[in-house]
Chains A and B, each alone.
Chain A
């Protein structure tokens, strides 16, 4: 399950690894201010607590579905912080921590999984964190197209109207081990390699695509797939937030510097179910879960911080912040209203469409007819 090939900056007991293989990446960590090192821990802990609360809300009937991400915080928080403000992030549907790092209000996720929206957040207002995509792997092509656009803006010069900072952007796209079998993901790598797009493919290998183990998806380590497409590729310990941060930072730097796409396979583990509808006890062994539990990204990182002299006050403060967010999310969930029926018909098209308009008007008249029948005081 672990791999000798994987870049690891932090051992499972929280010791920094200093050797020939890590020397390329350690400078990324050394130049981080302590406040950012603390942010890593804060986001992992707070988002795990949020995740637990959302799961509880689902069990209590407040959400139709929840998609847990517990266990993958190291891969997500490290890579999420590696992205520059002008970068564009194309998530799959489990990258809740990355979203929050980029400025997405976690309530947008709650609303989506309560059945109030299909996402609906505005990427330009959420740090270019794009919408979740549920058809597995489809977002990889959108990411590559976006990165082609960045490259074309540079090639076409001022005519494109893009600013210098915009053209310095890179794209970070997330997907999983299951998605690695989708044709779209292979096609995205083909286009990315062919046009040398500024993007990083970030594969979270959490070892399970619902009930199917990664061994069914690939007979080779997945990072070798990138190499086969002509994309420099590296495997990392995805439960090591520092490795995730440093290797993604380097990949994005390479990408935005015109050196073409990069590919990262982060070895991690989905500690919970695929979604709240799933029962992982039907397909995997407790021993395996325990193995990964001992390699938890938060425990490891806390040991590292304590070794650097970070004290109890900080950890208590973070725990309190996590409880506060959970309480806030719960309270706000209870105030959510169902959308108006007109939402069915909004934004199907950008320009007016006679069929949609006619059906919206018909539904309004249909609903109004019940209001008339109900008479005085008999609300529906």
Chain B
């Protein structure tokens, strides 16, 4: 059974499946029940599962996460929605000081299978705090798992895998891709939850990215191919832990790596990959690992986002620099 679905619909169907499969799964967040979420990712679920399982909460991110922790102690598997990336910080303490550390503090006697869904990233022309990419804060925090699906197929399966995880999962949804359609096979068993994946094979340069950046990397690879350069593209899928095996294998083949992300580059996921690849594949590298990132500034006013966010041209500029070594 293969359908053509948007990413938003694919995640919606994944949530529906998880709610149907396990009575302990709850959805909670602002505007998620009656409205179906500001991006409509939870549309229709309250009418199917009721207000005791799809729960509109008061407007308080710390409490959404903090009460989800208590619900998990009671045996529930809460899925929290944070409405926008930039609104996660009122909940930051409960995520990093409590949720991330409670399994450790309990020395294993309790589990915290909580998923925190976060629509993130730019390209939608929105006001301040609505286009950010805060994933590095959470990838830096021991005790959390961090993932980001790039396609409807991954959206459908990865949300279910995240809910089944016995650990807290930060689930970053590339909101600019919500309305892009793709094929979703709802019968084929998924691959490993936190594996990175080669999504285009090539021989001369490796590009790595996650979320909305993956489509930009594929676009850059198409342009490069037309100009005679063969590029391999890897969809990271998981930001913590990072599955390095496909990345190292690719770099051993191509000798060149460009890492791209919407987030600022300083102390970022891209920095971590650059440093790890330098440690593990130093003798395979023909050029330094290069990063293409959002600038180390606040996300700018929307009219400037096209300059701020890496596009295919900036990716190819880095590819050219890598090839020039």
Contacts and interface: CB of A to CB of B under 8 A. Distances in A.
Best-buried of A119, A140, A350, A355 by chain B (most CB within 10 Å)? A350
B76 interface: yes
B177 interface: no
A92 to B, nearest CB: 14
A247 interface: no
B67 A349 contact: no
Given A142-B69, A159-B23, A149 B111 contact: no
B136 to A, nearest CB: 15
Given A138-B98, A350-B167, A145 B93 contact: no
Given A142-B66, A142-B70, A146-B73, A123 B97 contact: no
Contacts of A142: 66-67, 69-70, 73, 98
Interface residues of B, number: 46
Shortest 6 CB-CB contacts between residues of A and residues of B: A145-B70, A141-B66, A149-B74, A145-B67, A187-B63, A146-B70
Contacts, number: 142
A191 B23 contact: no
A354 B167 CA distance: 14
B109 A123 contact: yes
Interface string B50-88: 001100011010110111111111111000000000000
Interface residues of A, number: 48
A119 B104 CA distance: 10
A150 B67 CA distance: 12
A187 B62 contact: yes
A156 to B, nearest CB: 6
A346 B24 CA distance: 27
A184 B23 contact: no
For B72, B97, B110, which residue has the most chain A Cβ atoms within 10 angstroms? B110
Given A152-B52, A183-B62, A347 B70 contact: no
Contacts of A346: 107-108
B66 A184 contact: yes
Contacts of B65: 141
B110 to A, nearest CB: 7
B97 A135 contact: yes
Contacts of A161: 23, 75
A317 to B, nearest CB: 36
A191 B241 contact: no
Contact of B73 (A145, A191, A354): A145
Interface string A151-174: 011011001111000000000000
Interface in B157-215: 165-167
A329 B82 CA distance: 47
11 contacts: A119-B106, A120-B106, A123-B109, A123-B110, A138-B94, A141-B69, A145-B69, A149-B74, A160-B24, A191-B60, A351-B166
Nearest to B165: A351
Contact of A155 (B52, B90, B167): B52
Nearest to B51: A155
Nearest to B109: A122
B228 to A, nearest CB: 37
B204 to A, nearest CB: 29
A351 B144 CA distance: 11
Contacts of A130: 73
Given A138-B66, A145-B73, A194-B58, A350 B103 contact: yes
Interface of B: 23-24, 26, 52-53, 57-58, 60, 62-63, 65-76, 90, 93-94, 97-98, 101, 103-112, 142-143, 145, 165-167, 240-241
Nearest to A135: B97
A217 B70 CA distance: 27
A140 B112 CA distance: 17
A258 B65 CA distance: 24
A124 B106 CA distance: 11
Instruction: Give the residue among A122, A130, A347 with the most B Cβ atoms within 10 A.
Output: A347
Nearest to B53: A156
Contact of A190 (B52, B60, B103): B60
B66 A187 contact: yes
A214 interface: no
A119 B70 CA distance: 17
A145 B66 contact: yes
A348 B165 contact: no
B107 A149 contact: no
B271 to A, nearest CB: 16
Given A145-B71, A145-B73, A149-B73, A119 B66 contact: no
Contacts of A187: 58, 60, 62-63, 66
Contacts of A148: 67, 70-71
Contact of B145 (A135, A152, A191, A349): A349
A282 interface: no
Given A149-B70, A191-B67, 12 more contacts: A118-B104, A120-B105, A130-B73, A135-B98, A138-B94, A138-B97, A138-B98, A142-B67, A142-B73, A145-B72, A184-B94, A355-B241
